[in-house]
Amino acid sequence: MTTTATKPGGGGRLRAAITARTLRTDRWWLAPLVTFIGLGAWVTYATVRVFMHQWFFVEEYLYLTPFYSPCLTDLCGPAAEFGTPLPSFLLIPEAAFTLPFLLLFRLTCYYYRKAYYRAFWLSPPACAVPDGHKTYSGETRFPLIFQNAHRYAFYAAVIISVINTWDAIHAQTTGLGLGNVILWINVLMLWAYTASCHSCRHIIGGRMKHFSRHPVRYRLWTFVSALNTRHMQLAWITLGTLALTDFYIMGLAAGWFTDLRIIG
Amino acid sequence: MKRHFRVWRGDASGGDLRDFDVEVNEGEVVLDIIHRLQATQAPDLACRWNCKAGKCGSCSMEINGKPRLGCMTRMSTFTDDETITVTPIRTFPVIRDLVTDVSFNYEKARETPAFAPPPGVAPGEYRMQQVDVERSQEFRKCIECFLCQNTCHVIRDHDENKPAFSGPRYFIRAAELDMHPLDDRSDRKEYAQASQGLGYCNITKCCTEVCPEHIKITDNAIIPMKERVVDRRYDPIVWLGRKIFRRDQLESADGAVPTVNPPMSSARLPEGPPVGPDGHMEIAELSAPTQGGLSPFGEDLSFPLPPEYVSYHHPERPSEA
């Protein structure tokens, strides 16, 4: 015997009784796992390095690692370009004025939010895979409503990118070595990541209603939009270049290897 | 060649996955196999479909757990020995087998403020530049398959958020109108934040992942809308600029910002289709009082609609709205 259909919106308001939490058969857990390991490893490395308080400057070639720029404590010595207003103390990073903003910039970044909400908070771990939490209020209330502060972190990140560029120029005065090349690649990638930010895309032109009245901003917006499609790749590339730059300078400062000099 | 299928069968009172071995030929899609099942082994298997070309958005289902269009999922993407599981979309109440009640989406559509015509421009005299309207046009590609609404964990995993959250499909609608060069409303950002639940979105991008029209929902609509809300609500520099240059007063002096906005939506609520004395719909349209697909707004509509059912507001004749 055939049954008649239930009226929509009427009596039955129940979802289909499917017992499996997810019916996905592909390796949906791989991407969040890779993100978890990648971000976890990077954060561990960065934390260890920031609180190491040594091997951050190569005096001979003026190489300063981005994790210690600008260097502001008594420990800095010749690496201090902007004075030393801070005391040297185990818990105060040498770049104590900039690192919190860089952390905020990456934490509130629209790509990293996707990455850590999926990989760390499991909300959701992958598409059509159930959320790991019973209740959910998203970014509507404290503390996650502060994700909206991304734009201020972006303004700060622009200033910090200028400081990093200055570091690369400053190191360039000693000649040319592999360290300079690494520093420049890092700075270039940091600029690309910062410029491809969704907030930047909005400020540069996305907020306008009439592109035709602002042709220059429209051109800039198309350029930033093209970069913006690669925001995820740039986010990972800059993690790589930051760690590599820091490791290279740490190795030089600790005397594990010497700089490959091209000029000077 | 035979392939193994598991198809969810049942209704709101319960159901389970049934096993089928079905013939599959070269070039076929999952919807073809569902049709073969109807023709051979399960004549009363319910499934919504229409164009078989990925343009009508009817055959949304979950294939091996992934929200997909049945007509756009090629059988050649599966291995020969793979079991293919087909279930109805999970987020909405099931009617029968693969057919779900998606009226949640129609309710949210009715709550979303419609296009507000610019004052002083008669219909037919609208002129705009391609660069200005381009961004809005991307969102017009939407076929309303509701796969984004289905996959969004905000309502998929948390049914209690449904009243407060409109979903990705209506965020692109809000963005489309907010970016539209001729739309006259100025409160769409506030509306998206306060009434559509934009803040619930945590940009995990599943809507973009499942969109069969490849609309960049998150990057081009949701994030720009979030940034526009930040402009209005959270940006101290914008706030300071407005205070210093007295822009807030300039805007209202121009008349560019209407002080009173028309109501968000009309009063009419969605209605179900006509049912028999047993409270159920007819099983086949041949015996139903009306033929063809049933409208989610009821079958007793006659045109033109009475004014109180329409949420359009004429800019120069508000009294008639």
In Å, how far is B284's CA from the nearest CA of chain A? Answer: 9
User: A261 lies in a domain?
Assistant: no
**Percent of residues, chain B, with pLDDT higher than 90:** 62
A202 contacts chain B (CB < 8 A): yes
pLDDT value at position A219? 97
Residues B75 and B112 in one domain: no
Question: Which residue, among A155, A41, A164, A160, has the nearest Cα to A108 in the 3D structure?
Answer: A155
pLDDT digits (tens, 9 = 90+) for B44-90: 999 999 999 999 999 999 999 999 999 999 999 999 999 999 999 99
User: A130 lies in a domain?
Assistant: yes
In Å, how far is B209's CA from the nearest CA of chain A? Answer: 8
Residues B10 and B113 in one domain: no
The pLDDT confidence band at residue B301, using thresholds 50, 70 and 90, is low
pLDDT value at position B28? 96
Helix (H) or strand (E) holding B229: helix B223-233
**Which of B229, B254, B279 lies at the terminal end of a domain, its last residue?**
B254
Contacts of B203 in chain A (CB under 8 A): 110, 113-114, 117
Judged against a pLDDT cut of 70, whether residue B320 lies above it is answered with no
Contacts of B204 in chain A (CB under 8 A): 113-114, 117-118, 123-124, 127
B44: CATH? 3.10.20.30
Residues B250 and B107 in one domain: yes
The total domain count for chain A is: 1
pLDDT value at position B241? 73
A142 contacts chain B (CB < 8 A): no
User: B197 lies in a domain?
Assistant: yes
| Yes or no, beta carbons of B158 and A22 under 8 Å apart | no
Q: Which residues are B18's β-sheet partners? A: B7
Residues B94 and B108 in one domain: no
| Yes or no, beta carbons of A113 and B101 under 8 Å apart | no
Q: Which has more pLDDT, A125 or B278?
A: A125
pLDDT value at position A53? 93
Contact residues for A13 (Cβ-Cβ < 8 A; gap 6+)? B12, B93, B101
Inter-chain contacts counted by CB atoms under 8 A, chains A and B: 207
A217 contacts chain B (CB < 8 A): no
pLDDT value at position A10? 46
Contacts of B15 in chain A (CB under 8 A): 16-17
- Output the six-digit token pair for A188: 């270039």
Residues B107 and B93 in one domain: no
pLDDT value at position B271? 59
Residues 32-71 of A with CB under 8 A from B: none
Q: Which of A1, A3, A4 to mutate to test the interface with B (most CBs of B within 10 A)?
A: A4
Among A127, A210, A228, the residue with its CB nearest the CB of B210 is A127
pLDDT value at position B247? 58
In Å, how far is A106's CA from the nearest CA of chain B? Answer: 15
Residues B87 and B109 in one domain: no
Among A2, A113, A211, the residue with its CB nearest the CB of B131 is A211
Residue with tokens 């006509």: B274
Maximum C-alpha span of chain A: 91
Helix (H) or strand (E) holding B163: none
Residues B159 and B46 in one domain: no
**Which of B39, B69, B100 lies at the terminal end of a domain, its last residue?**
B100
**Which of B56, B80, B100 lies at the terminal end of a domain, its last residue?**
B100
| Yes or no, beta carbons of B197 and A135 under 8 Å apart | no
pLDDT value at position B291? 66
pLDDT digits (tens, 9 = 90+) for B203-258: 999 999 999 999 999 999 999 999 999 988 777 676 677 777 765 555 444 444 44
pLDDT value at position B262? 47
Residues 101-120 of A with CB under 8 A from B: 110, 113-114, 117-118
User: B264 lies in a domain?
Assistant: no
Judged against a pLDDT cut of 60, whether residue B260 lies above it is answered with no
Contacts of B14 in chain A (CB under 8 A): 17
A168: amino acid identity, one letter: A
User: B26 lies in a domain?
Assistant: yes
User: B235 lies in a domain?
Assistant: yes
Burial classification of residue A196, based on how many CB atoms lie within 10 Å of its CB (0-12 exposed, 13-18 middle, 19 or more buried):
buried
Question: Which residue, among B189, B166, B172, has the nearest Cα to B110 in the 3D structure?
Answer: B166
Task: Using CA coordinates, name the residue in chain B closest to A117.
Answer: B204
A209 contacts chain B (CB < 8 A): yes
In Å, how far is A197's CA from the nearest CA of chain B? Answer: 11
Judged against a pLDDT cut of 60, whether residue B202 lies above it is answered with yes
A232 contacts chain B (CB < 8 A): no
Among B8, B154, B181, the residue with its CB nearest the CB of A136 is B154
Residues B120 and B249 in one domain: yes
Residues B25 and B67 in one domain: yes
In Å, how far is A113's CA from the nearest CA of chain B? Answer: 7
A199 contacts chain B (CB < 8 A): yes
User: B133 lies in a domain?
Assistant: yes
Residue-range definition of the domain harbouring residue B25: 2-100
CA distance B87 to B8: 5
Residues B62 and B138 in one domain: no
Burial classification of residue B232, based on how many CB atoms lie within 10 Å of its CB (0-12 exposed, 13-18 middle, 19 or more buried):
middle
Q: Which residues are B85's β-sheet partners? A: B6
User: B301 lies in a domain?
Assistant: no
User: B291 lies in a domain?
Assistant: no
Contact residues for A85 (Cβ-Cβ < 8 A; gap 6+)? A72
Among B91, B94, B206, the residue with its CB nearest the CB of A127 is B206
| Yes or no, beta carbons of A9 and B103 under 8 Å apart | yes
Residues B166 and B205 in one domain: yes
Per-residue pLDDT of chain A (264 residues; tens, 9 = 90+): 344 444 544 445 799 999 999 999 999 999 999 999 999 999 999 999 999 999 999 999 999 999 999 999 999 989 988 888 998 888 999 999 999 999 999 999 999 999 999 999 999 999 999 998 999 999 988 888 888 899 999 999 999 999 999 999 999 998 899 999 999 999 999 999 999 999 999 999 999 999 999 999 999 999 999 999 999 999 999 999 999 999 999 999 999 999 999 887
Residues B163 and B199 in one domain: yes
User: B47 lies in a domain?
Assistant: yes
Q: Are B180 and B227 in contact (CB under 8 A)?
A: no
Residue-range definition of the domain harbouring residue A50: 30-256
- Output the six-digit token pair for B239: 């706030």
| Yes or no, beta carbons of B281 and A209 under 8 Å apart | no
DSSP code at position B215? -
pLDDT value at position B233? 76
The total domain count for chain B is: 2
Among B16, B151, B275, the residue with its CB nearest the CB of A7 is B275
How many separate helices (H) and strands (E) can be counted in chain B?
11, 7
Task: Using CA coordinates, name the residue in chain A closest to B207.
Answer: A127
